[in-house]
Copies of this chain bind each other. A is one copy, B any other.
Amino acid sequence: MKSATSFLLAARQCEIAELEELARTSELVGVIGRFVHALQRERGICNVFLGSHGRRFAAQRLRQVEECSQVEGEVRAQLEALETGSRCVRNGSRLFSRVAMVLHALDGLPALRARVARQALSARDATAAYVKLVTGLLGVVFEAADSATDPKVSRALVALFNFMQGKELAGQERALGAGVFAAGFIDASGQQQWRHLIESQETCFQVFADFADAEVLRAERASREPAVLAEVERLRRLGGSTRRELDPNLSQAWYDWATRRIDAMRAVEDVLARHLRELCEARIAQARSELRDQSAMLAALASDPAAGPGGSFGPHLERSILDLLQEQSRRLQQMGDELDAVRASLNERKVVERAKGLLMAHRQLSEDDAYKALRQMAMNQNRRIVDVAEAVLSLAEVLPGASD
């Protein structure tokens, strides 16, 4: 018959199994980071290629496609390793559903590239297609962060997710700015959109800073090149002003400076991914060693001369087991509390998703248009998207027929 102590050890074994699963997911998240970076570069190159009517970056594009395909192979190999049959994966239904979306989008990548090669679509449409793919990949990272069961690992995943998201917004800003400089002017809506991309980046990097550990923060600070940032800020100021005509030659300069900034972020992502891997390993090693200690202590208690016949424990030993049980229960409770606090930071994104879903259902909008509508409202009202999303949701509660 299973005893209290066997369940005590089983609880610890479950914890180890969850950490091992988290280590595998973290591996996947690391490779996704590299893939997203390769896609961001490919997107940037496509923009210049299409914007110049195929005169520039034709060779770079082919090289980048090749590099991208190689990392895609690594992502697919990692997905292959995510066992889908026998072993249960925490949050598996949501995670696998996100993966299915990503794989489906990846299947469309060769056709997208062929259209880019034929210049059969606009730079704007090509950008939108790449943005969608990257958004899907970030969705997988989000699910990984949301399903983590260890607060320390969860913190690291939240930091990484927000950093990746901020970097993606920086990539979108790069594309927007390149287009603005190339066109030689910016209208009020473009200005607003640019401002919004900058603010959203800052929000992401703030959450990253709140959750990243000291080593990662040091790496992030060290990665910032003041000269690069100064140039990016100067060009933001020039590009964001409607008062004068812009020098189209600045397009290349903007692109290069923005790229230097983004490439420096890539190095930080590597530190984040390594930190995450080491954290998982350390937590697994710690949990294993605690399991060994507990087992040894229980064995010693059972063989203690003070133990009763058949290995039953006397009142003194009874006390030790109760201490072990209470300590474990307190530890799990505390971990659960910490986890709730970390996850709260992911709720903002969920609120936005929920509001988007509502707009899709009740105004028959596509996902893309629903997001644009929220963003437009946020820009018009000079509020954060999450605040607008919350307003939409609470409005829906009082509107007839909007609750189902």
Contact = CB atoms under 8 A, between A and B. Distances in A.
Interface string A309-348: 0000000001001100100111011101100100000000
22 contacts: A1-B76, A2-B79, A2-B84, A3-B107, A7-B97, A7-B99, A7-B103, A8-B97, A11-B92, A11-B95, A11-B96, A11-B100, A12-B93, A14-B84, A17-B88, A18-B88, A87-B88, A97-B325, A104-B325, A330-B357, A333-B354, A336-B350
A396 interface: no
Interface residues of A, number: 59
A94 interface: yes
Contact of A7 (B8, B10, B84, B353): B84
A100 B8 contact: yes
Given A97-B329, A325-B104, A329-B101, A92 B3 contact: no
Interface of A: 1-8, 10-15, 17-18, 21, 76, 79-80, 84-85, 87-90, 92-104, 107-108, 149, 318, 321-322, 325, 328-330, 332-334, 336-337, 340, 350, 353-354, 357
A84 B176 CA distance: 54
Contacts of A325: 97, 100-101, 104
The oligomer's copy count stands at 2
Contact of A80 (B2, B90, B322, B350): B2
Nearest to A315: B111
Nearest to A7: B100
Given A6-B84, A13-B84, A97-B325, 20 more contacts: A1-B80, A2-B80, A2-B103, A3-B107, A4-B100, A4-B101, A4-B103, A7-B84, A8-B97, A11-B95, A12-B93, A13-B85, A18-B92, A87-B88, A94-B332, A101-B329, A104-B325, A330-B357, A333-B353, A333-B354
